[in-house]
């Protein structure tokens, strides 16, 4: 029988630079590039699905919020880094994408949204509430969202999360075939979603900024903790990630430097 998920492809859509010594306690100063990962999932029945869309080349041209973001996270994105250009190189047109799963709404995850005018969006209830009641600290840059964003959003609530994945951790079986289960990975952003694929790979968004940073992430410095939605929930998510890793699940964070283009 043909597997439901035919492939998972990774794209690095620009990057920001940060000093790890300013983020984690007990860490020496080390500047690191954090790529903005986006993922193209091909389902045998449901076609092409995106998990996030990376940065826009216009990230630094979004007024005060954009300038502040770039000050604290120096960012480099060229036009050919944008997801639509990278997809065109493999023969994928924007209209081929019918579904986009949004982990959360920070600019390094939604920068390419307006390129995909035919796609529906999948978001958590908390995420859509954040969009409707946005504050400056939520880093929601309105110019990157299509005017009909709310109309095209399919909202996942806690009541829909019934598939047991790990103890109290439950998920939403997107296609009712066990191939792609959406998990709540809260802490960094309210209602942040991850995608568990074939029980092998977890696209874990910003629940941590890298596989080698999981243990350090329990000990974030105060200024860095301020940009997290809820540090207690963040640490609880880290606990769950470590348990999933012990079960053999490959954790793929959006900001991991990933040399593999084909993840599955």
pLDDT for 137:
81
Return the pLDDT at 51. Answer: 98
* Segment 157-178, tens digit of pLDDT: 999 999 999 877 999 999 999 9
pLDDT digits (tens, 9 = 90+) for 67-95: 888 888 899 999 999 999 999 999 999 99
pLDDT higher than threshold 70 for residue 1: no
Which two structure tokens, joined as six digits, stand for 32? 């690191």
Domains of the chain: 5-252 (3.60.15.10)
CB 5 within 8 A of CB 43: yes
How many CB atoms sit inside 10 A of residue 147's CB? 8
Cα separation of the two ends of the chain: 17
Spatial contact of 95 and 117, defined as CB atoms under 8 Å apart: yes
60 pLDDT exceeds 90?
Answer: no
Q: 112-162 pLDDT, tens per residue? A: 999 999 999 999 999 999 999 988 888 899 999 999 999 999 999 999 999
Q: What pLDDT does 28 receive? A: 81
For the segment 181-226, what is each residue's pLDDT rounded down to a tens digit? 999 999 999 999 999 999 999 999 999 999 999 999 999 999 888 8
Q: Give yes or no for residue 3 having a pLDDT over 90.
A: no
pLDDT of residue 136: 81
| Mean pLDDT, residues 229-253 | 96
Q: What is the 3-state secondary structure (H, E, C) of the chain?
A: CCCCEEEEEEEEEEEEEEEHHHCECCCCCCEEEEEEEEEEEEECCCEEEEECCCCCCCCCCCHHHHHHHHHHCCEECCHHHCHHHHHHCCCCCHHHEEEEECCCCCHHHHCCHHHCCCCEEEEEHHHHHHHHCCCHHHCCCHHHCCCCCCCCEEEECHHHCCEEEECCEEEEECCCCCCEEEEECCCCCCCCEEEEECCCEEECCCCCCCHHHCCHHHCECHHHHCCCCCHHHHHHHHHHHHHHHHCCCEEECCCCCCCCCECC
Residue 190 exposure: Cα atoms within 13 Å on the Cβ side: 16
Q: Can you give the pLDDT at residue 7?
A: 96
């Amino acid at each position: 029988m043909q597997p439901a998920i035919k492939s998972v492809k990774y794209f690095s859509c620009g990057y920001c630079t940060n000093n790890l010594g300013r983020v984690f306690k007990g860490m020496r100063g080390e500047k690191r590039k954090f790529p903005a990962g986006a993922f193209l999932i091909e389902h045998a029945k449901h076609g092409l699905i995106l998990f996030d869309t990376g940065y826009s080349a216009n990230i630094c041209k979004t007024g005060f919020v954009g300038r502040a973001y770039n000050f604290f996270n120096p960012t480099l994105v060229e036009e050919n880094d944008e997801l639509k250009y990278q997809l065109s190189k493999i023969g994928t047109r924007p209209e081929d994408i019918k579904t986009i799963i949004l982990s959360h709404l920070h600019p390094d995850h939604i920068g390419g949204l307006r390129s995909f005018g035919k796609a529906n969006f999948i978001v958590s209830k908390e995420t859509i509430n954040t969009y409707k009641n946005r504050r400056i600290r939520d880093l929601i840059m309105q110019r990157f969202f299509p005017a009909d964003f709310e109309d095209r959003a399919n909202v996942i609530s806690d009541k829909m999360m019934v598939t047991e994945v790990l103890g109290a951790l439950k998920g939403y079986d997107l296609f009712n075939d066990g191939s792609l289960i959406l998990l709540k990975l809260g802490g960094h952003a309210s209602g942040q979603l991850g995608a568990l694929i074939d029980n092998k790979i977890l696209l874990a968004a910003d629940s941590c900024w890298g596989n080698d940073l999981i243990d350090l992430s329990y000990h974030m410095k105060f200024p860095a903790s301020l940009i997290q939605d809820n540090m207690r929930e963040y640490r609880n998510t880290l606990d769950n990630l470590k348990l999933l890793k012990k079960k053999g699940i490959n954790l793929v964070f959006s900001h991991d430097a990933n040399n593999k283009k084909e993840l599955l």
